[in-house]
Amino acid sequence: MEIGVLGNVGFLVEGWSDIAQREFFKFIQMPSLTRFLKSLPYDFSVQLTYLGQKALSAQDAISMEEASVYFVREVSLMLDAIEVVRARSSCLVSSVYWCQFLDCGVQPLGEKLFDIQTVSRSALRFGLISKEHNLIKTYEVIDNAIFRQSTLTVGYENLILTECFLPSIRQFL
């Protein structure tokens, strides 16, 4: 995939029209993907794929994550039963607040996060994730994917939120 610069995101999506790229880059910079996806005229749902302690190796860790054992929630965000985003939330196992927060079944985190007055969020960081990465490798016919990542903080406890954008999102934007 060719990588170029567009605004502060820094990626060009090969083969997409200028209009499609602009819409995609607006989308990936939305503060709440959940709110945006729910506003579209499609059936939005969340599929919980993992919840619990997980050892992330150096190959599994993404950007701000380090190889360690985390409490992890992995989900797929769906539109009309088509997976469009894979997301992973990870916190230290000792983070009582975030471990309890993540144990919410298929309720979207975006519905809960923005109701917390005391949460702060870092700037969004963007990057590419390999099609071989465990978080997305089960998705068929994928090349590398763009991800965004941020850290949410309540008190002294951090939650790393990673969202990987799958090629299928293109048909909904």
Does 53 reside within a domain?
Answer: yes
pLDDT in tens, 68-89: 889 999 999 999 999 999 999 9
Does 58 reside within a domain?
Answer: yes
pLDDT in tens, 130-168: 666 666 666 665 667 778 888 999 889 999 998 988 888
Q: Which CATH number fits the domain that encloses residue 30? A: 3.40.1410.10
- For the cut 90, the answer to whether the pLDDT of residue 93 exceeds it is yes
- Owning domain of residue 77: 18-172
pLDDT in tens, 58-67: 766 666 777 6
pLDDT-derived band at 1, boundaries 50, 70, 90: very low
CA-CA distances (angstroms) from residue 116 to 71, 128, 145, 171? Answer: 20, 30, 30, 32
pTM above 0.85, yes or no: no
Does 11 reside within a domain?
Answer: no
How many domains, the chain? 1
**H helix or E strand, kind and range, residue 161:** strand 157-165
